[in-house]
A and B are shown apart, each in its own frame.
Chain A
């Protein structure tokens, strides 16, 4: 297995010479779906923040798993069970190296980033958050990093605190720090905002929280496909992401947690695989990470995620980050040059996401008209209604980029927006 050790964790592109080493046409050939047409036009897929497309290597790995290795895991009396167990645990190892975690036991497989956040809220949160305690999030969170904490706060009569953002869509760090109180029991922050593209200063956030002994959960759903992530350097306590936004399959996600925290946490769900012995009088739970993996997991999903990680590693997260930064810069210039178009989210540090509104035209209409040109974007609130409220818009149109997008596709988007304006002229 290849390792990803030594990649820098900073999102800054190393320079354009690096990006030009990135052969996007070669990359595109790896994604079968990019050959298809939509409404008679070549597909221009710009909805990567919702889900990414899958390279052939991922699709093949899942097929190979089902054709050659499939069996239930951790019950290894027969050959296939041993193979399947090895596949599953190899995937865990790949995730560990990808996130630069210290131990494989710190990697818990779950269904999605959403499930990972719910898991932490209902295990760590249930133990450590009490009446009048506080959970601190930011104003740019996805609903999946709001609602699990609201549920917890309702159960515990605790308070949800929200650190504000400025008009560029950046977290106001001083306000964030001011909201860290002796009552704050956990901080939960997105690494990259799905609605605005803002890259948060995670290392600084963690430092501020740790200075007060408050653990930090990072929602990495949008960051993992775009930036090299090193959980040990970030020193975050929990880090979560979904496989399907990182070119892997749906149905598999990851919770990273520091060993000491995971070991002290109660289980999330009960069932098979999470126990070491069961009697009607007493059940002894399995070791981490298995304690949090009740029931038969998504083995094929883990295998697919492993293939996706190998694929990303083959391209180099540094190269991907640099190339996508180049795309975002190009797109920001092209789209903001159009009359009547306003970009929502203009943070200094951004990645992969371009949200915009067009004067007098609702995003839903933009989405439909672009779709007729084969261009897939997202129109709506992006599961971030508080963000929409802050910017005083009902919804935005959002183009989000992946490693296979091209400048020609961004040109097509700009032409598409002009067409939208013609229809409504």
Chain B
């Protein structure tokens, strides 16, 4: 049986209660809205880019503890990183939350995001953990329509 404490780790609960970078970014040169129609989670991710560099990243919206903490920690990790850093981190994060073994057999370096490894035991919650990341991707690609977890 999966342990609830593996899913709801203290750091996740803490971020869900007090999300970081939780504000609209004005002016934002990129933003996108992400939506999970199954549970109603909805977030907007705002970016201020300098070329390929993420100068600032914030988010706003509503959702469960997993999706909110994931968004909060994502913004913390990516401030000052490049676009390709972000894409690579998402790819590693995605593997961990979906329970896929890392390509080289080594434990991927996720930093604090490792607290989300428990999500892989709860398949119905994977979309919660990845919603903000999909939204970020849409923002980077300049998509106009809201991204949905069901597409």
Contact = CB atoms under 8 A, between A and B. Distances in A.
A402 B4 CA distance: 28
Contacts of A381: 39-40
A361 B38 CA distance: 17
Contacts of B128: 364
Shortest Cβ-Cβ A-B pairs, 4 listed: A362-B64, A364-B64, A394-B40, A395-B40
B19 interface: no
Contact of A368 (B41, B42, B122): B122
Contacts of B38: 380
Contacts, number: 55
Given A39-B1, A368-B124, 12 more contacts: A361-B65, A362-B39, A364-B41, A364-B64, A364-B125, A369-B8, A372-B4, A380-B38, A394-B39, A394-B42, A423-B8, A423-B13
| Range, interface on chain A | 20 to 34
A150 to B, nearest CB: 17
A112 B40 CA distance: 25
B2 interface: yes
24 contacts: A39-B2, A360-B17, A362-B39, A362-B64, A362-B68, A364-B63, A364-B64, A364-B128, A365-B8, A368-B7, A368-B125, A369-B4, A372-B1, A380-B38, A381-B39, A388-B40, A394-B41, A394-B42, A394-B62, A395-B39, A395-B40, A423-B4, A424-B13, A424-B65
Contacts of A369: 4, 8
B66 interface: yes
Most buried by B among A39, A360, A364: A364
Interface string A367-378: 011001000000
A362 B39 CA distance: 10
A40 B64 contact: no
The secondary structure that dominates the A interface is mixed
Interface string A347-364: 000000000000011111
The secondary structure that dominates the B interface is mixed
A369 B65 CA distance: 12
Interface of A: 39-40, 360-365, 368-369, 372, 379-381, 385, 388, 394-395, 423-424
B4 A362 contact: no
Interface in B61-95: 62-66, 68
B39 A363 contact: yes
Nearest to B62: A394
A364 B62 CA distance: 12
Contact of B66 (A360, A363, A365, A380): A365
Contacts of A363: 39, 64
Contacts of A372: 1-2, 4
Nearest to A385: B40
A356 B32 CA distance: 31
Nearest to B68: A362
Contacts of A365: 8, 64-66
Most buried by A among B1, B8, B40, B41: B40
Contacts of B125: 364, 368
A420 to B, nearest CB: 10
A362 B2 contact: no
A39 B3 CA distance: 10
